Amino acid sequence: MPFGKNELQPDVQVVPVAPSHLPDRWEELPLPTLVVEVLCDSTGRRDRGKKRDAYLRLGIPEYWIVDIGERAVTVVRSGRPDGRVTRRLRWQPRAAIRGLEIAPEEILPR
């Protein structure tokens, strides 16, 4: 995902496009509706700082920062305070679509 002269490479991104309508070049994809970064020692500060700010400036609706050691997910949404989730993570990109619910303990390694 281009960002000025830099490129953001999230660990996971959800892009709102049907497989049959995928463009030929990744640069032509629409903005993701969800971006996920998994923290590690070498990227944690950047994921919580520069990348968080960049995703908000780009207009990404939701950004998750997964902390495996803490077994928690920080949920970042524009115009709202960041939230820390340890029990039920909920994501619903549109009201007409059934939401996704995930318990972090079910997907994070021990």
List 14's β-bridge partners, or say none. 34
Domains of the chain by start residue, with CATH: 2-107 (3.90.1570.10)
pLDDT at 23 (0 to 100): 87
Checking if the pLDDT of 77 tops 90, the result is: yes
CA-to-CA distance for 16 and 95, rounded, in angstroms? 14
CA-to-CA distance for 17 and 21, rounded, in angstroms? 6
Q: pLDDT tens digit string along 18-71?
A: 888 888 887 788 899 999 999 988 888 999 999 999 999 999 999 999 999 889
pLDDT at 6 (0 to 100): 58
CA-to-CA distance for 34 and 55, rounded, in angstroms? 10
Checking if the pLDDT of 1 tops 60, the result is: no
